[in-house]
Amino acid sequence: MRKLVLIIIGLLFISTVSYAVAEAQVNPDKLHFYMYGAKTCPHCRRMKEEIPRVYGNDSLTYYELVDNAENQALFSVQYQYTGIAGVPAIGIAYDGELKAIVEGEFNVSMAPEIVKVAMDNGGLILVTGGKAYIIKNATIIQKLQIIYVEHRNPDEPVTTTTTPTNTTTGSSDNGICGPGILVALAVVPLVLLKRKR
């Protein structure tokens, strides 16, 4: 009888531990990536190929900055909250909720671990300039959620719905990418706003 009780207790313990482990796992099927990029950027092209290769063709929503005033304006707004001026700028959402933003190329197979760290710390992971930060300000997280996932300016009232460009094809154009050209795109609206005051 004592052995039976120990076996039942052991099974309950194993069941509880395995449930806790299963709950702690991040399901890769619930990941979605939102990327601001430029067709002239070789890093953007690589990430546009790598994300769908690892997570499937429907795992990436891409926002082109070159010749797209709406995306440039949204990228400038996100710059105010993140300081990210270079591309690619990649938002990682889990089950529709933004959990991380990464500037530049990264090993996309690490996305579940990045999301797990964000969830464990109750915030949004920001990786920029070779450093990682955690944002816990709910207002900022919500604004970044709107910019990346909903693809609209969080400071403007909702009047129309925009449809993001969802593409996973690369471009063969060569050129510069990163902070140089995009800092100008992000700073110009700020300078113009300052002049109006």
pLDDT digits (tens, 9 = 90+) for 37-63: 999 999 999 999 999 999 999 999 999
107: Cβ contacts below 8 Å, ≥ 6 apart: none
* Over residues 98-114, mean pLDDT: 96
Q: Is the pLDDT of residue 193 over 90?
A: no
Q: Which of 53-62, 124-133, 143-152, 164-173 has the lowest mean pLDDT?
A: 164-173
Mean pLDDT estimate for the chain: 79
**Domain edges within the chain:** 32-196
**In which order are the strands placed within the sheet that holds 97-103?**
60-64, 31-37, 89-94, 97-103, 124-128, 131-135
SS3 of residue 87 by DSSP: coil
* DSSP annotation string for 164-189: --------------SHHHHHHHHHHH
* Strand-pair category, 31-37 with 89-94: antiparallel
Distance (Å, rounded) from C-alpha 30 to C-alpha 10?
33
Q: Is the pLDDT of residue 16 over 70?
A: no
Only one residue has tokens 């076996």, namely: 7
Identify the pLDDT of residue 152: 94
HSE, CB side, 13 Å, CA atoms: give it for residue 132. Answer: 11
Share of the chain above pLDDT 70, in %: 68
Type of residue found at 159 = T
Q: Between 195 and 102, where is the model more confident?
A: 102
DSSP state of 146: I
pTM: 0.71
The confidence band for 158, taking pLDDT boundaries of 50, 70 and 90, is low
The confidence band for 68, taking pLDDT boundaries of 50, 70 and 90, is very high
Identify the pLDDT of residue 38: 97
Instruction: Give residue 195's Cα distance to chain centre.
Output: 32
Residue 63: name the closest of 53, 80, 76, 81 by CA.
76
Identify the pLDDT of residue 124: 97
Per DSSP, helices labelled H in 25-137 are 42-55, 69-82, 111-121
The confidence band for 157, taking pLDDT boundaries of 50, 70 and 90, is confident
Type of residue found at 184 = A
Check if the beta carbon of residue 108 is closer than 8 Å to that of residue 55. yes
Q: Is the pLDDT of residue 186 over 80?
A: no
